[in-house]
Amino acid sequence: MAKILFDSKFLHQLNSLKLVSKRAKKIFSQGERRGGKAGSGLEFIDYREYQVGDDYRYIDWHLYSRLEQLFVKLFRQEENLTVHLIIDESESMSSGDPSKIDYACQLAAVLGYIALVNLDEVGSSTFSSQLEKTLPPRRGRSQIFNLFHFLEGINTQGKTNFSFCLSEFSRRQRKGGMAVVLSDLFDPKGYEEGLISLRSQGWEVCLLHILQENELRPMERGEVVLIDKETQQRIETIIDEVTCQRYEQELRDFFQKVESFCQHYEINYLRVLTSLPLTSFIFQDLRKRQILK
């Protein structure tokens, strides 16, 4: 069970941040987010000639008095962004100190908090072999506690079925928004289908690849039996320098593949190590990648 503990100073710092969504399909409901289109917001953006059917309330009568033509004021549409935090809670996420799941939960909490502070709707889902739990998207500060409570209740379990779960998610959640996927991507069946499915449903996807230090470079040496945490599959091998080099090469290839995939599908991909302080990741890396501003 992840512990979500933030001090007030940190939360105060988070208040100044905002999630940046560029491509997400937004809900045209009243929100705090300035939309790109004209709508029923408060911010004036332009005039246009009155057309039949326009709301009389938006006719600028001062302008009519000067020009004797009817012009309607246009306001920027205030949009509502739904941020969905999709967390991988498979067994593989439980490794490391701090564990990847703890790190993912804390990161999700931070992102959720930032979104809720900015009056976005925030929901969350967990998955392993299937979609496990879902916190429906809500807005408002009360959702913060719901979110924290939800995140604290996450326990690692089962195998990863990344693509199936994300496909299932995209089928269920059709309204789109910003999907922040926190996972270690350790799924032999691959991750591509799930992400494509999300993108096809109009979700702006931010993929946060969470890893731990010794997954980048194995610390063990000698003859070992490697036991897969999820599948309990055993592999007897000898880890030496050559093996390590091969492993790192394999990992680099994998990262490269993920990066090129995400670039192709306009997915924000960011890799994070659990050894990296959360504040550093939030205030530097996420801002640098313009996920937060």
Partner 1 sequence: MTVLNPSALYLLLLLGVILFFYLLKGRPRKVIVSSTLFWRRIRRSLPAQRIHWRLPPELLLFLQIALLTLLIMAMAQFLFSRKERKEFMVIVMDTTASMQATDLIPNRLAMAKKRAQEFIEELPENTQLALVQADKRPQLIANFSDERSYLLKGLKALTPADVRGNETAALELASSILPAQTRGRVIFFTDGAFELDIDYLPQNVEFITLNKKNSRNLAITSFELRPRTEDSKRYELLVKVTNFSWQKERFSLRLWLGQNLIFKSELVVSSQEEKEYIHNLEVDKKTILKAEISPYPQDDLILDNTAYALPGFSERLNVLLVSKGNLFLRTALESYPQVNFYQKQIVLPGELSYYDLIIFDNIIPPPLERGNIVCLGVLPPNLSLKEQDPQPNSILTEWEIDHPLLRFVNLENMNVRQSLGIETLPGADILLMSSAGPLMQVWQKGGLRLLFIGFDLYYSDFPLQIGFPVFIFNLLQWFHPQVFDPTYSQIQTGEEFVIFPKAKKEEITIVNPHNEIITIENPKDPLIFSETRIAGVYTIDGKSLFTANLLSAHESNLLSRVTFASTSREVNRQVKNEYSESKLSLSPLLILLSCLLLLVEWYLYHFPRAIGKRRSKSSKRTA
- Give the footprint of partner 1 on this chain (CB under 8 A): 92-93, 95-96, 100, 184, 186-188, 212, 215, 220, 222-231, 233, 235-238, 242-243, 246-247, 250-251, 254
Q: What amino acid occupies position 141?
A: R
153 vs 190 by CB, closer to partner 1: 190
Instruction: Compute the least distance from the CB of residue 236 to partner 1, in Å.
Output: 4
d(C-alpha 288, C-alpha 293), whole Å = 9
77 vs 212 by CB, closer to partner 1: 212
d(C-alpha 235, C-alpha 223), whole Å = 11
100 vs 199 by CB, closer to partner 1: 100
Is the bond preceding residue 137 a cis peptide, omega within 30 degrees? no
The β-bridge partners of 84 are 123, 179
The residues near 251 (Cβ < 8 Å, ≥ 6 apart) are: 215, 216
49 vs 236 by CB, closer to partner 1: 236
126 vs 170 by CB, closer to partner 1: 126
**Dihedral angle of Cα 42, 44, 46, 52, to the nearest 10 degrees:** 40
Instruction: Compute the least distance from the CB of residue 242 to partner 1, in Å.
Output: 7
Q: Give residue for tokens 């959702």.
A: 143
Instruction: Compute the least distance from the CB of residue 97 to partner 1, in Å.
Output: 13
Instruction: Compute the least distance from the CB of residue 227 to partner 1, in Å.
Output: 5
Instruction: Compute the least distance from the CB of residue 234 to partner 1, in Å.
Output: 8
Burial zone of 259 (CB within 10 Å; 0-12 exposed, 13-18 middle, 19+ buried): middle
- Concatenating the DSSP letter of every residue in 33-71 gives EEEEEEEEEEEEEEEEE--TT--GGGB-HHHHHHHSS-E
Instruction: Compute the least distance from the CB of residue 228 to partner 1, in Å.
Output: 4
139 vs 159 by CB, closer to partner 1: 159
